[in-house]
Structure 1
Amino acid sequence: MGLEEERAKLERAADELERRSRYLSDLIQQQRRSRGDGRAGEGKERMAAGEEVLVVVKEQGPTEEKQRKRIVDGGRAGSVDPKEQQHPSNIRVRAADMPLELQRRAFRCARQVLGSMPKLDSKRLALTLKKEFDSTYGPAWHCIVGTSFGSYVTHSLGGFLYFSVDKVHILLFRTAVEPLEK
């Protein structure tokens, strides 16, 4: 199979995934409206413990489109305008599926490291956040830092935070780790 055929196949798969995601989001909204609890921007959907949640974050650099993002917070899902997720020191939550306590720890750690740097060192910031979360909350944390990047990740429930501090974007997420069989 040629490279072009592979690319076309991947594009079709990505389109199908996006179509299904939109379909599921529409179904959830219809259910909320039919139950009468579908206030704009607030959802009450419950998820089973241990369920993985797929979040797609598309970044377009300085010309980033303003759009409503789907976030998951403490077992509840809903759409929240990123402007509503403002925090002090120019911190803006873009998408989250993480308890507030862990979010605050990530914000504090990011502010400390960024404050100690004369210029941005993305690798150092990513390493510091990863080590902090690995040592405090267990293994398998991953961190991506930059001013413009794209990502497509699957994370463990309650272990995803995508935020920015000024123009630096930080993606911190956890994946499930299973012990090796002996």
Structure 2
Amino acid sequence: MREQKEPPPPPGMDSARSELERRSRYLSSLIRRTKLADGEEEEEEEVVVVVKEEGKGKGKEKEGGGEPEERHSIRVRAADMPPALQRRAFRCAREVLGGMPKTDSKRLALALKKEFDSSYGPAWHCIVGTSFGSYVTHSLGGFLYFSIDKVYVLLFRTAVEPLTR
């Protein structure tokens, strides 16, 4: 089978714009392939996580007595990130949300950014909220958009280039 090459951009088209369009097509195809590989069409992945909480009156009692537990519903909305990094983001989000009585979006965003900057290098960005729009460019393998309960989290990495003078 002959490999098809992408046609060159029309004259006058900005190279940055063509690069952005190429990346956008790549991400769209990656999301489509991920959904098809998982056998999904329209449905998002849902993960129910059990978190142990100290104290009384929070969450449900575990079978056989013992500590109560609280459930967080996590849904991956879109991802271009290895599963191990996704699990780390979920764990960090659960820990931060479990430690606060009321959801503090700024605090959660800062905690996720610091965790990923320190573990995987600089240039991680995090947006947290219940209603927001975005259109971002990210490094390959560095994009995760998920919800935990009713809070939405967008975590992504951008390329960092050293300044040259």
TM-score bracket relative to the smaller structure: 0.5 to 0.7
Q: Which has the higher contact order (CA 8 A, sep 6+)?
A: 1
Specify whether residues 114 and 82 from structure 1 end up closer, same or farther in structure 2 by C-alpha distance, changes over 3 A only. Answer: farther
Tell me the residue number matched to 2:30. Answer: 72
Highest CA radius of gyration, 1 or 2? 2
Tell me the residue number matched to 2:43. Answer: 83
What is the CA–CA distance in structure 2 between the aligned matches of 1:77 and 1:136, rounded to whole Å? 28
Q: One-letter code of the match for 2:30?
A: V
Query: What TM-score results when the alignment is normalised by the length of structure 2?
Result: 0.64
Tell me the residue number matched to 2:163. Answer: 180
Query: What residue ranges of structure 1 are gaps of 5+ in the alignment?
Result: 1-16, 22-51, 56-69
Match of 1:124 among 94, 107, 112: 107
Match of 1:136 among 109, 119, 132: 119
Tell me the residue number matched to 1:63. Answer: none
Identity %: 70
Query: What TM-score results when the alignment is normalised by the length of structure 1?
Result: 0.58
Tell me the residue number matched to 1:108. Answer: 91
SS of 1:54 mapped into structure 2: helix
Query: What residue ranges of structure 2 are gaps of 5+ in the alignment?
Result: 1-16, 50-72
Specify whether residues 144 and 177 from structure 1 end up closer, same or farther in structure 2 by C-alpha distance, changes over 3 A only. Answer: same
What is the CA–CA distance in structure 2 between the aligned matches of 1:84 and 1:71, rounded to whole Å? 16
Tell me the residue number matched to 2:133. Answer: 150
What is the CA–CA distance in structure 2 between the aligned matches of 1:113 and 1:54, rounded to whole Å? 32
Give the deviation of 1:71 after TM superposition.
7.2
- 1:24-54 CA-partner distances (Å, limit 9, x unpaired): xxxxxxxxxxxxxxxxxxxxxxxxxxxx843
Q: One-letter code of the match for 1:54?
A: S
- The ranges of structure 1 where at least 4 consecutive aligned residues each deviate by more than 4 angstroms after the TM superposition are none
